[in-house]
């Protein structure tokens, strides 16, 4: 995979770090950046939860938007942790496949279960089911 750095390729660098930098992994700076992003998103999700969308969108649609924002932020935070703290961005594709598979199976679990529960009553299309 990694060709030994020949002097011809890097004539200006006299024998600089021959081995350890061959995989460009995460850096300390990046870890702190991810940490601050997670902290800011936590504050945003609290503020968004306190914000009432009902006057703008109606009670039910407003509640739905609140849920959508909360889960959207949670998924973003989880993705940041998985990709950078858990190094999935730097692992081989098989690990990524395992992660994606778990998310898909969880989605199946929820979607198929709810396709039952949400269609049991005549009010199956009622937004109330999603909004509170």
Q: Least Å distance between CB 11 and another protein? A: 27
Residues contacting 117, CB < 8 A, separation 6+: none
**Which residues here bind another protein, judged by CB under 8 A?**
20, 25-26, 28, 31-32, 34-35, 38-39, 42, 45-46, 49-54, 66-67, 70-71, 73-74, 77-78, 81-82, 84-87, 91-92, 94-95, 98-99, 101-103, 105-106, 109-110, 113-114, 117-118, 128-132
Q: Which is nearer to another protein, 13 or 21 (CB)?
A: 21
Would you put residue 87 in left (φ > 0), alpha (ψ -120 to 50) or beta? left
User: Structure tokens of 74?
Assistant: 């949670």
Cβ atoms within 10 Å of 129's Cβ, excluding its own: 15
């Amino acid at each position: 995979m990694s060709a030994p750095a020949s002097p011809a390729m890097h004539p200006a660098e006299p024998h600089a770090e021959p081995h350890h930098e061959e995989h460009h992994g995460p850096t300390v700076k990046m870890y702190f950046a991810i940490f601050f992003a997670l902290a800011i998103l936590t504050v945003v999700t609290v503020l968004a939860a306190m914000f009432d969308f009902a006057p703008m969108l109606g009670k039910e649609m407003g509640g739905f938007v609140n849920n959508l924002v909360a889960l959207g932020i949670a998924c973003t935070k989880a993705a940041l942790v998985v990709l950078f703290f858990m190094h999935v961005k730097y692992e081989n594709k098989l690990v990524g496949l395992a992660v994606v598979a778990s998310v898909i199976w969880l989605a199946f679990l929820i979607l198929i279960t709810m396709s039952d529960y949400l269609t049991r009553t005549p009010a199956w299309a009622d937004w109330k089911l999603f909004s509170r």
